[in-house]
Amino acid sequence: MDKFPIQLISWFEKFGRHDLPWQKNRTPYSVWVSEVMLQQTQVATVIPFFKRFMRELPTVKSLAAAELDEVLALWAGLGYYARARNLHKAANLLVKDNNGHFPQTVKELMELPGIGRSTAGAIVAIAYNQQASILDGNVKRVLSRYHAVEGWPDKTDVKKKLWGLSEKHTPTDRVAEFTQALMDLGATVCLRTNPRCIECPVNSHCVARQKNLQNTIPGKKPKKKRLSRKICMLLIEDVHKRILLEKRSTNGIWGGLYSLPELSVGQDPVEWCKKTLGLKITSQKVMQKMNHSFTHFDLNIHPLLVRLDDVSCQMVDHDDRLWYNPAEDIQVGVASPVATLLKSLQSTGE
Ligand code: SF4
């Protein structure tokens, strides 16, 4: 008999996390939202976002009925916005094709946008307590170490092996608890650096521990040269001190969020504003540069504050543009470096 799930579940009863907000009043919908939020984000960061999201959009139907702008505003600050767009798209598909009912199998769930095999497994296991396996980042680390599987866990052959091991250990009973336990072990004991092996419930059979390989397993991702891009962001200020924001296309970075107009570094802002927006700039001031890191590249932002003459303020009329007063709370989703720039205007009294 496989001791792994038994040891893990009895450890979870005593030491696991039982008071996370998504563990209360659990529904397939709340499990789905929490799992998607947790995909690339730490538990402590997710908690306030999850509470606010569930308060505003408590059901699949309410999510489907919301405007994408509202969903993105609730997500603003959590990053990886494709997750929010996919949640919204999936909720609309469920309402349209399934009367708002939630699928109950891994296969059906994986047909929805933004739900991969591990997220689908977590939903089936946690929401329905049905046998299904998971393999998120924490679980990859635990299983790689427990079985001393060498190599980068996202390499195709290594990942395939880890999926096999995850399936082998998944019990038929108490699947929800087992799944939570496995996630908790990775998050609180089998840590990336300095795992707390003494406290670990499965330490007696952990091969990495026996061979003292905890710090070399899992293997690291092969390094690629990091790319970087430079852009100039314009903070266009009208005579009422409002800043022009424009909505980005739904594709690409910060898709669907509001942001600042962008031009190439070195391009003449006076010419650009006149040609693109029909606006006349009366003064310009260089602001402090900032960097923003994405998974695959760094964005070097060169912000420029430009002021308009009185007449120009009337001239921006477009569905996807709005004038925003930085002294007021923002009602639309904005990219986080843009929020930082808007705040800096306030604090410097520009
Ligand atoms: S014994 Fe250590 S390395 Fe092995 S699973 Fe437990 S915490 Fe991780």
Residue range 52-68, pLDDT digits in tens? 999 999 999 999 999 99
Beta strand ranges found along the chain (DSSP E) = 227-237, 243-247, 258-259, 262-263, 281-286, 290-293, 297-308, 321-324
Site of tokens 């205007």: 345
Answer yes or no: is the C-beta of 170 below 6 A from any ligand 1 atom.
no
Residue 112 CB neighbours (<10 A): 20
- What is the reported pLDDT for 224? 81
- What is the reported pLDDT for 57? 97
SS3 254: coil
Amino acid at 50: F
Q: Which residues have a catalytic role annotated?
A: 35
Q: Which residue would you say has higher pLDDT here, 226 or 219?
A: 219
Beta carbons of 257 and 322 less than 8 angstroms apart: no
Percentage of the chain lying above the pLDDT 90 cut: 71
Fold classified for 227-348: Nucleoside Triphosphate Pyrophosphohydrolase (3.90.79)
Residue 183 CA to ligand 1 centre (angstroms): 13
Q: Residue 224: CB partners within 8 Å, gap ≥ 6?
A: none
- Residues of the chain within CATH 3.90.79.10 domain(s) are 227-348
Answer yes or no: is the C-beta of 186 below 6 A from any ligand 1 atom.
no
Among residues 319, 225, 321, 309, which one has the least CA distance to residue 270?
309
Q: Cα–Cα distance between 170 and 4 in angstroms, integer?
A: 9
Beta carbons of 44 and 21 less than 8 angstroms apart: no
Q: How many Å separate Cα 168 from the centre of its chain? A: 29
- What is the reported pLDDT for 74? 95
Q: Cα–Cα distance between 67 and 60 in angstroms, integer?
A: 13
Percentage of the chain lying above the pLDDT 70 cut: 96
Q: Which residue would you say has higher pLDDT here, 255 or 348?
A: 255
Site of tokens 């405007």: 67
Measure Cα distances from 55 to 50, 58, 59, 108, 335 in Å: 8, 6, 10, 27, 22
CA dihedral 151, 152, 154, 160 (to 10 degrees): 10
**Is residue 314's pLDDT more than 60?**
no
Q: Cα–Cα distance between 344 and 337 in angstroms, integer?
A: 10
Answer yes or no: is the C-beta of 8 below 6 A from any ligand 1 atom.
no
The mean of the pLDDT values for the chain is: 91
Answer yes or no: is the C-beta of 4 below 6 A from any ligand 1 atom.
no
Residue 20 CA to ligand 1 centre (angstroms): 24
Question: Given the DSSP bridges, would you call strands 227-237 and 297-308 parallel, antiparallel or unpaired?
Answer: parallel
Q: What are phi and psi of 303, to 5 degrees?
A: -85, 145
Q: Quick one: pLDDT band at residue 203, thresholds 50, 70, 90? A: very high
Residue 33 CA to ligand 1 centre (angstroms): 29
Q: How many Å separate Cα 333 from the centre of its chain? A: 14
- Residues of the chain within CATH 1.10.340.30 domain(s) are 3-210
**Is residue 326's pLDDT more than 70?**
yes
pLDDT in tens, 6-47: 999 999 999 999 999 999 889 999 999 999 999 888 899 999
Residue nearest to atom 2 of ligand 1 (CA): 197
Residue 145 CA to ligand 1 centre (angstroms): 6
Answer yes or no: is the C-beta of 149 below 6 A from any ligand 1 atom.
no
Q: Cα–Cα distance between 154 and 152 in angstroms, integer?
A: 6
CATH 1.10.340.30 at 3-210, yes or no: yes
Of 7, 206, 212, 217, which is best to mutate to test ligand 1, by the most ligand atoms within 8 angstroms of its C-beta? Answer: 206
Answer yes or no: is the C-beta of 209 below 6 A from any ligand 1 atom.
yes
Mean pLDDT along residues 184-211: 96
Site of tokens 């569905």: 319
Q: Which residues of 64-97 are buried (b: 16+ CB within 10 A; e: fewer)?
A: bebebebbbbbbbebbebebbbebbbbbbebbee
- What is the reported pLDDT for 127? 94
Q: Residue 123: CB partners within 8 Å, gap ≥ 6?
A: 28, 31, 32, 35, 109, 115
Answer yes or no: is the C-beta of 202 below 6 A from any ligand 1 atom.
yes
Q: Which residue would you say has higher pLDDT here, 294 or 180?
A: 180
Residue 178 CA to ligand 1 centre (angstroms): 16
- What is the reported pLDDT for 236? 93
